Chains A and B, each alone.
Chain A
Amino acid sequence: MKPAAFDYVRPANLSEALQALARYGSKGKILAGGQSLVPMMNLRLVRPEVVIDINRLPALDHIRVEGGELLIGALARHSALYDSPIIAQHFPLMSEAYRHVAHKPIRNRGTLGGNVSHADPASEMPAVLLAGDAMLLASSSNTQRRIAAKDFFQGPLQTALKTDELLTEIRIPVAPAGRGYAFEEEATRKGDFALAAVAVLLDVSGGACAKAAIAVAGMGDCATRLREVESSLAGKLINDDAIVQAARTAKQSVTPIASYHADVEFKRDLVEALTARALRRALARCK
C-alpha cells in the first residue's frame, strides 16, 4: 500500500512552517510523528499535495514548569513524556494514561501535539487534556491564540485548528498537592485504541468532593467531559454508593457510536465500569 505522490517541504523554523501553512492551505498537511498520518497516506485515505515536515523545528519539544503551569511543546514525543519525571510529578494522570498509549516505536516518533491535532476519538490524550483543563496554543503566520481544551476538540478527527494554524504548545495547570487521579481504559489488546477510556481528577476536602473532572474517550465522537457526573458529585460525600451512582450517571450520559468491536450497550457498560474504577482509585490517592 503505497502513498500517492506529494511535494515535500521541510521548514527550518516555526516562521517558515507557518508561512508554508499559509501558502498551501488545505493542500498542505503537517507531518510530525507520522504515526497517524502515514498509515492513512499508505492506505490512500488521505493524499495531501504538500507534506510539511516539522520534525526539525527547534525549541518545540520542551517539557517544563513555569509560573504554576506545565508547558509542553507540541513536538514533545510521547516517549519523552512517558519517561518524564516532570510529568510524573506535576501531571501524573498523563503518566498513567501513557501506559495505555500504543507501543514504544510509535511513542518514539509520535508527538503529543500531533496526536491531539489529529483528534482520533479513541485516543487517550484528548481525554487527559480535557480532564486537566489544558490550554492549547495555536499560531498562524499572523495570529496566535489560546484555545481551551473544551473548545479545541469538536468532533471525530475535528479540532478548532484552522487550516493555516499549527499547534505549538500545551499548557496545563500544575496539580495542587493531594489531588487524586486515575486513568482507566479497556482496549481490545494492550496498546490498541480505547474501546472506552475514563480520566479522573479528584480534589476532596473533609471527605466531600471539592472538584471532580471526568473525561471519557472512545465513544466515537470526540472526547468529552462528563459535566453531569461532575455536578452530581460536587460537594457530596464521596463514598462507594456515590461512586456507584456516579458511574451509573456516566453510563446514561454518554452517546456512543457503535463500531465493529463494540456496540452501544457494550460501550455504556464499559463507561460505567471504568468510571467506578477510576473514581475509586482516584479517591484512594486523594490526601
Chain B
Amino acid sequence: MSTIPKHIPAEGYIPPSRQREQPRSQYKYLGQNMKRVEDPRLLTGQGGYIDDIKLPNMAYAAVLRSDRAHARIKRIDTSKAKALPGVILVLTGEEAKKMTGPTAQFATPPVVQYCIAVDRVRHVGEAVAAVVAETRYIAEDACELIEVEYEDLPVVIDALESMKASGDAVLHPDRGPTNIAHQKTFTFGPVDDDFAKADKIVRRHLRWPRSGAQPLETVGAVAHYASGTGKFTVYCNTSFVNYVGFVIAGSLGVPAHKLNVIPVTTGGSFGSKLFTHKVITLAATLARACGRPVKWMEDRLDNTLSCDNHGSDRIYDCQLALKNDGTMLSLKFRVIDDYGAYLQFGYGTHGNSLCQVVGPYQINSVQMELIAVLTNKCQQGAYRGFGSEVTNWMVERMVDAAVDELKLDPIEFRRKNLIKPEQFPYVIPTGNLYDSGNYPAVLDEALRIAKIPNWKDVQAKARAEGRCVGIGIACCQERSVFSATEFWSLNPVDAANFTLTSSPESTHIRIDPTGNIQVTLGSPFWGNSPETVATQLVAEQFQCDPANINIVYSDTASGYNSTGPGGSRFTVMIAGAIVGASIKLKEKMLRIAGRMLEAKPSDLEFRDGKIGVKGVPGMEKTIGEVALFAHMFRLNLPDGDDYASGLDASYVYDHPLTTMPAADRSHLGIFYPIMGHMCHLALVEVDAKTGKVKILDYVAVHDAGTLVNPMTLAGHIRGGTAQGIGSTLLEQFYYDENGQLLTATFTDYLIPTLHEMPPQIRVGHVQTPSPFTEYGIKGGGEGGRMGAPPALSAAVEDALRPYGIKIDELPLTPKRVRGLVRAAEQGKG
C-alpha cells in the first residue's frame, strides 16, 4: 500500500526496491554495541588530525582579514610585510587571481568568490591578503604590517533592508542590480482549494537566527606542490574528496589528476567540513607560489569569521489551514533566508527542507515562496540538518499554534494527524517519499519513558508555588541519505544548471593471503564511526571475527566515487557498498572453496570465519586458507577471469531511490526518502525574574530503522540534542549594524557545557526498517539537533503560558526570555 498525492502521476512513481539484504530479527554483529575501532589511537593522542601533519621544509600561512563589512580595496601595500625576516611570501587577491581562478561554488547563476578578495570585501573577516612565513607567529606579525586602504560602501546586515538595496549596497552587481539572489514560489498540490476549505487559518511570524557547527577543530590544509610534475598533494580535513574534489583542480587551473587530496582524521564537522574548498584552494595557491609546502591552519577567529560554519538564517511568515476537528489541510509560507555575502551551496538548504516539510503529518498541500538574500555577513555553510532542522521547528511551532487556536491537546492533536503505518510508502506533496515508519509507536514509547502524568504533577505543584514549569513535545522527521537533486531542483529551470544526479558511496574490499580483510573507505572520519560501522557490516557479511578486519581511507588518487558523511547518509550508503562488494567477493570465495572442498557453492555457507558445507561440521576451510589458495595457486583453478589470482572487489553503490523532479517543479521527485523519525519531550523550568531556562528532564525516542551500533547512535542523539539545546538557548552568530561579528570567539559564542545539559537524556529506540536500503538501515547521524529546538520552544512557551507569551524567535537567551516576561507584565499592569 502506498500513498501518492493526486497532483503527482502515480504510475511508476516509486521505483522498485534495490534492497538485497533483508532485515532480520537477529544478527551476529549488527545491532551490537561494539567498542569503536577508531578509539585506541584517538585516546592515546595519535589521532593524526590535520594540524598534526608536518612536511619537511614546511612553512606556515596566516591571513589578513577585512575589519569592515563592505568596502572597495583601493590599495594594498605589502612591502613592509615582505621585508620582515622570516617572511617568504605575501599575496594579495589581485596577485592570487593571476594564478588561481574563482573558488568552486554551486549557485546558479554563479556568485563569484576568490580565495583572497579581489576588488572589494563583502564581510568582516573576508581574506584580504595571505602571508607565508617560517612560523605562524611571524606570519601573524607580517599580517599586521600590511597596509590596506579601503573605500567604504554601504553595509546591509538586515535581510529585509538588503532586499530593498540598490546601487553600491548591492554585493554582486555583475550578477544583477539586487541582493535578492533568488525569489520563487513553489506550489505542491491544491493549496488554494485547501485554504478555501479551511475552518481556521493560523498565522505565525517566526525567526530562526544563524548558529553554527563550531566543531572544536577548525579547518586546515597542508599543501605540497611539485613543480617538476605540476602536481598538488593536499592534506585536509575535508569530506568531498572523492565526490567533487576535482572541481578544486579547476580553480587551480590544473587537470583533475594533478590534485590529490588526502583526507585526515577530523575533529568534528557537523556539516561544516563537507567541502572546505576555500581552504584547500588557498593552501595550494600559496604552496605553488612560494615553492615550499604550506600549512594553512585556521585559528578560531579565522573559522568563525570566514569558514563554512554558519547555518540557516531565516524569517518565516506561515499560514496553516485547519478544520475545526483538528485536521491540518495545507501549509503556506514565505521564507527569507539570509545567505551572507556569497552562495557557495546554492539554495540546497531549502531543497533539503522540502523533503520533510509536512513533518510526520498528513498535510495535503504546501506552498513555499523562497527569497534568498545576500548580506554583508560570512556566507552560510552546512550545519547538521542543513535547513530541515529549521523547517522541523517551523512546522511544530505551527502545530502548537493550531493546538492553541483550537484549544486541543498537543499530544492528541499530533497523534490524530500522524501518517499511519499502513499508509507507507508515503509520498508527500513535494514529491519526496517517506519509505517506512511507525509514528504512533515512537510517540507511545516516548510517552511511556517520560511518564507525562508525573511531569504534569511537577508542573501543577510548581504553578501552585508561582513557578513556571512547562512541558513540550516535538514529533519530527529525520531524513537521511540526500540525493544530489536537492542542490539544484529549486534553481531557475532555464538557467545553465549542473543537474547532477549522482551521490554514491564506494568501497574496495581486499582479502589478503592470510585471510585478513582490508576495507577501503572513500570518505573520511568525522567523529561518526565509519570504521566501526564498516567492520560490523563486513563481519556480518563474512561471519568472521571483527579483529581480522582492517579499515583504511583512500585519497582522490585512489578513491572510488564517494559522497561522504553528511545528511545522515554514511551508514546506509557504506552498507550498500559493502554488501555489493561482499556479494561479489563471496561468490568467488564460494567457487574456490567449492573446489577445495569438492562441494557445490550452493551447499556452502560462511560460518565463524570459515566456509563450510551446510549441516556438516568440520568440513570447512578457514577464510585464510581460501584466500591463500585464491592468491597463490592459479594453476589449481580453472581458466577464465572468474578465477584470476587475488581476492578483492570494489563496488559503487548509488543512491537507492532517487527520481527526477518534474520539469515544471510541481513536484521534486524522490530525493531524500530514507526517513527516520523522532519524538522529543522536554520538561523545563523558567525563572521569570532572570529569564534562565533550566531543563529538568528530557526524553528522545528515535527510529532510525535497523541499528548497526545502538551505542554510537545514542551518542549522536545525545550529542545532537546538546547542539539543539545550544541553538535554542545559547548560540547565535550575531552581527551588529556595522557588520561586526560580536560573537566571534568562544567567550561570546556560547557552546553548551556539561552544566547546560539536563540531568539525563533518556533515549529510546524504535526500529522500523527501510524497504529500500540494505538490512533496512536508516541514517541517524544528525540526531537530536533535529528535534530539540521545537521541543524546548514548546516547553518554554508552556511554562510561560500564564503570561500568554508565544515563542517565535530564538535563541531563548535569558535576555530574550526576561524581555518577553517584562513586556507581558507591563502589558497587564
Contacts and interface: CB of A to CB of B under 8 A. Distances in A.
A binds B: yes
Contact of A190 (B141, B691, B753): B753
Contact of B822 (A2, A44, A260, A269): A269
Interface stretch (B28-36, B254-262, B763-771, B810-818): B810-818
A48 B730 CA distance: 34
Interface residues of A, number: 23
A188 B730 contact: yes
A4 interface: yes
Interface of A: 1-2, 4-5, 43-44, 186, 188-192, 195, 260-263, 265-266, 269-270, 272-273
B337 interface: no
A44 B140 CA distance: 10
Given A262-B814, A263-B815, A269-B822, 20 more contacts: A1-B301, A2-B140, A186-B814, A188-B730, A188-B813, A189-B750, A189-B752, A189-B753, A189-B755, A189-B756, A190-B753, A191-B753, A192-B750, A260-B743, A260-B748, A261-B813, A266-B691, A266-B815, A266-B818, A270-B818
A106 to B, nearest CB: 12
B689 A269 contact: yes
Contacts of A195: 814
Contact of A266 (B730, B752, B756, B819): B819
Contacts of A261: 748, 813, 815
B814 A188 contact: yes
Nearest to A260: B742
30 contacts: A1-B140, A1-B299, A1-B300, A1-B301, A5-B137, A5-B141, A43-B301, A44-B140, A44-B144, A188-B730, A188-B750, A188-B813, A188-B814, A189-B730, A189-B750, A189-B755, A189-B756, A190-B755, A192-B750, A195-B814, A260-B742, A261-B748, A261-B813, A261-B815, A263-B815, A266-B818, A269-B689, A269-B822, A270-B690, A273-B689
B621 interface: no
B136 interface: yes
B690 A273 contact: yes
Contacts of A192: 750
A262 B822 CA distance: 14
B64 to A, nearest CB: 12
Contacts of A269: 689-690, 818, 822
B106 interface: no
B734 interface: yes
The CB with the most chain B CB atoms within 10 A, among A2, A44, A272, is that of A2
Interface of B: 136-137, 140-141, 144, 299-301, 689-692, 730, 734, 742-743, 745, 748, 750, 752-753, 755-756, 813-815, 818-819, 822
Nearest to B755: A190
Contacts of A260: 734, 742-743, 748
Nearest to B742: A260
A1 B744 CA distance: 13
The CB with the most chain A CB atoms within 10 A, among B691, B750, B755, B819, is that of B691
B96 to A, nearest CB: 23
A158 to B, nearest CB: 20
Given A4-B141, A261-B813, A186 B692 contact: yes
Contacts of A191: 753, 755
A87 B753 CA distance: 29
B689 A262 contact: no
Given A188-B730, A190-B753, A262 B815 contact: yes
A2 B690 contact: no
Contacts of B136: 2
Nearest to B734: A260
Top 5 A-B pairs, shortest CB-CB distance = A273-B689, A190-B755, A2-B137, A260-B742, A266-B815
The CB with the most chain A CB atoms within 10 A, among B141, B730, B756, B818, is that of B818
A191 B753 CA distance: 10
